[in-house]
Homo-oligomer: A and B are copies of this chain.
Amino acid sequence: MSSTRTPDPNPGWLSEEELAAFRARMPLLYVEALPVRLGGLGEVTEVGLLLRASNEGAMTRALVSGRVMFGETVRDALFRHIEKDLGPMAFPQLPASPTPAHVAEYFPFPGSKYQDPRQHAVSLVFVIPVTGTCEPRQDALEMTWMSTEEVSQPDVLAEMEGGRGSLVRAALASMGVLP
């Protein structure tokens, strides 16, 4: 769909300079996804977190995450970033409804609930069931599946950057599986 809409081969991709200019002046739109495995009756049985090395070399747990580009639908962006982070065999079930489970606002200022030192980002957060095999790509070291009890442990959630532990807790609550 993007291809028919966009005359330029890659208008959504910005140079580093352009992106830096935008980041200093505008909120950027992101999508984030929490991968889950469902049981036979639709109930959440496991939650998947990516393990990444942060810029400082520390290990952190992360969600699937990325920018929405010019001309791209939220759905297209969600699909693209899930494939980028989980590989082509994850078989995600994208949401029938465009309304996210949660909206997270990241600010580069101290004091806000969610933080991102690079930018002001507004993220539409979805819980995404995956039925296939996840093979983390890019900079993720591995994908860990945890039970809802395990993932709710304070020490696991504390390993997430930018306050995203709270976001995972909110996503679990919206599914009715926060202990």
Q: Point out residues on A near B: beta carbons under 8 Å.
A: 4-5, 11-12, 14, 18, 22, 24-29, 36, 38, 41-44, 68-76, 79, 93-103, 105, 107, 109, 113, 120, 122, 124, 127, 129, 166, 169-170, 172-176, 178-179
Please tell me if the beta carbons of B71 and A122 are within 8 angstroms of each other in the complex: no
Please tell me if the beta carbons of B38 and A176 are within 8 angstroms of each other in the complex: no
**Nearest-CB distance from A47 to chain B (Å)?**
11
Q: Which residue of the partner chain B has the closest CB to A172?
A: B173
Roughly how many angstroms separate A173 CA and B172 CA in the complex, as a whole number? Answer: 9
3 closest cross-chain pairs (CB), A and B: A42-B94, A173-B173, A170-B173
16 A-B pairs in the complex with CB atoms less than 8 angstroms apart: A5-B107, A11-B24, A14-B26, A22-B25, A22-B26, A26-B26, A26-B29, A68-B122, A74-B103, A97-B175, A98-B102, A98-B105, A99-B100, A103-B124, A169-B173, A170-B178
Please tell me if the beta carbons of A41 and B102 are within 8 angstroms of each other in the complex: no
Knowing A25-B22, A74-B105, A170-B178, say if A127 contacts B43 (CB, 8 Å): no
From the candidates B93, B97, B176, name the one contacting A176 in the complex (CB within 8 A): B97
**Nearest-CB distance from A136 to chain B (Å)?**
22
